[in-house]
Structure 1
Amino acid sequence: MLPAVPLEQMIATVKQQYSDRYQQPPTWVVSAPGRVNLIGEHTDYNDGFVMPMAIERYVVIAAGPAEGTGNTLRVSSDAMEGEITIDVDQPVPDDLPQWGIYVRGVLVEMLEAGFPCGALQATIHANVPLGGGLSSSAALEVATATMVEAAVGKSLGGPEVAKLCQRAENIHVGMPCGIMDQFSSAVCEADHLMQLDCRSLATKQVPFTNPDITVLIINTNVKRELASSAYPIRRGQCETAAKQLGVKALRDATMPMLDKMAAQIEEVVYRRARHVITENRRVEDMATALETNNWALAGELMYASHDSLRDDYEVSCDELNLLVDTAHQIGTNGGVIGSRLTGAGFGGCTVTLVETEAVEDVAKRLKQTYQTTLNIEPTLFTTRPGKGAHIAEG
């Protein structure tokens, strides 16, 4: 399994990278985590409930003032080649890489919110897996906003940062994402899962401190382009279902309401709505399960969530199904509590709750089965609930 890298070590690394590039120490260092969603998938853009946690994988940025005027950021990332310059006061250049579009979108929205970045230079160091459904893009967005907060010397606040970063992705990247990813990175607390009401943005921090239970994340290392095209299609189907049911969003619908209208609703739209309605209930039941240490129920809810995502929402794939089915076969006798896909689907990661004493054996068996069956090497790591976005220095 991939070893955990302490956040303090990542901070030391990015500071050194900054000093090497700009020949001076940074003024500010900020951090924002990726996230894994334990349960509550494709419910956030339906005003529903989700239960993510921050993972101990981060985007850290070291920054300092640069020469020049206006709102310009010179920035390099160790995950990408070269350095880019983003001038917020100028149109988007044609050659700006995708990751730069995310950063620029946040800078534009921060400027409009009264947080001009000024002239800055920065280096980015990250270990959130790219394209794995663990919100590397949201972590980059939230880290960028936190960097601007540090530079300006005032705070927008976690919930407002999350909403701003969601808006940046919706408008400037063109992805109609919900609020969960940005909210997780900005607001999650260490040693807690966060039950989030995506309509009111009310949160409930659910303690996750039991040392006998470990979160195992497995990246299939498969990411299909279908994910980006299927996302807006699924969202549109949910909006169609809500309109036909006469509710503002599927969060307001019930199964009796849906079943009553089944004959008038297209079959595929019915199944999309059924997933969202039942998934919202599973989130609420999961909170109860965790608060009462009912791990058997927690496992049942995770498997039911995966089945619904596979059959009703149709966002799973053979690679994800193999990992979840194998985990289910290992079962509680082998130390597995529950498993499901996490993220948008069509590849990416699974999240599995495992008894800590069994995690090495479970990881080995899952990796061996996956690699032998598909000839693809997965990436595995464990995590505790991490710390949300913050200014580490400066």
Structure 2
Amino acid sequence: MNSSDELHTVAETLPQLVTRVRQSHEEIYGKPPEFVVAAPGRVNLIGEHIDYNDGFVLPMAIERYVVMAGSRADAKHVQSRFHSISMDSDAFLATDGSPLDLPDTPGWACYVQGVLAGFAATGHPLPALDVCFDSTVPLGGGLSSSAALEVATATLLEAATGTTLDLRQKALLCQKAEHDFAGVPCGIMDQFSSVFGNAGELMLLDCRSQDITAVPFTDDGVTLLITNSNVKHELNGGEYAERRSQCDSALKKIGKSSWRDVCQDDVESHRDHLTGPEYQRATHVVGEIDRTTRAAEAISAGRMDEVGELMYASHDSLSNDFEVSCSELDLLVDLARNVGDAGGVIGSRMTGGGFGGCTVTLVKTDTAAALIDTLVKNYESETGVKPSCFTSCPAPGAHIVK
């Protein structure tokens, strides 16, 4: 059996990633970068698929980043060139916000072009830039690799233009980029997490008012373990949009203007008017809003056992009522649940948009290595796929490195 050290995925530290991206920029463009920025991915402890339903979410920025290095292009160039190091692909993108129109443009370019368009719409002229970037945020794992790319792009544009955007404006600009250019009608959680993240804190985000309440998370005896099922997912295949539409139609039939004004009694009293899927989605939304606020209170009070129960309930609802889990995610949660209190597991659930990706597990620090061994061995035995595991503390949000 592999040792826990081999199973625990250790990514480059942020300083190491910064050094490598700087060196790559100089190799690709023949000059050192003028600007270097970083933006993190995120993991959501609880509060899934309710950020676009006026709910509460409880994410944190993770110690996995997109790092971008950029410099001003030669005067003869009118487009910016973005180079993805790990994907070894280029995109030449308009700095006037023009939409993508090249059939061979790599898929990641739509997120970057969307931010360029949004930044141009603020009235700030954009210089043509030579940019390269790389990431330690797992792709397609529900850890917001796309939001990290968007926020890194916006932060680079701030550095290159000497502009400082209001933080909410910056997050919303990046959200709009994902809506308009990637076709994903996401809520605000991913971009807000990458922009507003702070070390040592979870972020209770009110997705209706956009107010943020810091929830300290500094207990060394508890570790947050992220396990990637290594089942990839794409959220622009219609599943995400379908569920958002079902939530909207259910809310309209219930006759309320916001899910925050809906209780389960309201859902039950309108059950005859709701389709089966609408009833299920409504049940999840109402329950998940309640679970998230209770989890934040429990963490603040140190009641971790209660947090674990809420995490399991969240996963069950996402699997049964919202139907965004999959057999691999259910298996990972069941494996953690079976280890249970005796093995130091506090709670576990899928995290992110679903249809693959990651689980997040609260585990006692001194049993984390044994849990990793168990998850990897049993998951691989049943699926033939080896998951990857890593731990993370709450990390700082987007910032200019140079």
Q: TM-score range by the shorter chain?
A: over 0.9
User: Could you tell me which residue of structure 2 aligns to residue 259 of structure 1?
Assistant: 268
Q: Report which stretch shifted further, 82-91 or 147-156.
A: 82-91
Q: Is the 8 A contact 2:59 2:193 kept in 1?
A: yes
Shift in CA distance, 335/112, structure 1 to aligned 2, threshold 3 Å: same
Counterpart of 1:291 (choices 284, 290, 300) is 300
Whether 2:221 is the aligned partner of 1:212: answer yes
**Selected match of 2:95 from 88, 98, 105:** 88
SS of the equivalent of 1:98 reads coil
Once residues 160 and 258 of structure 2 are traced to their aligned partners in structure 1, the CA distance between those partners, rounded to angstroms, is 39
Q: Offset at 1:84?
A: 2.2
Match of 1:362 in 2: 371
- 4+ long deviations beyond 6 Å: none
Corresponding residue for residue 180 of structure 2: 171
Which moves more between the two structures, 201-210 or 91-100? 91-100
From 69, 83, 87, the equivalent of 1:76 is 83
Q: Quick check: 1:289–1:297 contact (8 Å CA) kept in 2?
A: yes
Q: Quick one: which of 284, 288, 292 aligns to 1:275?
A: 284
Counterparts of 1:226 and 1:14, CA distance in 2: 28
* Match among 40, 44, 51 for residue 51 of structure 2: 44
Q: What TM-score, normalized by structure 1, do the two folds share?
A: 0.97
**One-letter amino acid matched to 2:88:** E
Q: Is 2:115 the counterpart of 1:106?
A: yes
Give the CA deviation at 1:141.
0.3
Given candidates 50, 63, 72, the residue that maps to 2:70 is 63
2-side partners of 1:360 and 1:55: how far apart?
19
C-alpha separation in 2, matches of 1:253 and 1:120: 48
Aligned residue for 1:347, secondary structure, equals coil
Q: What do the CA deviations read for 1:177-207 (whole angstroms, capped 9, x no partner)?
A: 1111111111111111000011111001111
Contact 1:71 1:117 in 2 (8 A): no
The runs of 5 or more residues in structure 2 that have no matched partner are 1-7
Distance in 2, Cα, partners of 1:313 & 1:109:
32
How many residues were matched structurally? Answer: 393
Pairing of 1:84-233 with structure 2 (within 5 A): 84-89=91-96, 90-92=98-100, 93-224=102-233, 228-233=237-242
1-structure distance, mates of 2:78, 2:251: 42
CA contact (8 A) 2:83 2:89 kept: yes
Q: What amino acid is aligned across from residue 44 of structure 1 in structure 2?
A: D
Q: Report the TM-score, using the length of structure 2 for normalisation.
A: 0.95
Alpha-carbon deviation of 1:225?
A: 5.0
Q: Secondary structure of the residue that 2:238 maps to in structure 1?
A: helix
Cα deviation 1:373-393 (Å, max 9, x = unaligned): 111111111111111001111
Root-mean-square deviation (CA), in Å? Answer: 1.4
Q: Deviations over 1:4-37 (max 9, x none)?
A: 4221111111111111112221111100000000
- Distance of aligned partners of 1:257 and 1:91 in 2 relative to their CA distance in 1, 3 Å threshold: closer
Which 10-residue stretch deviates more, 252-261 or 299-308?
252-261
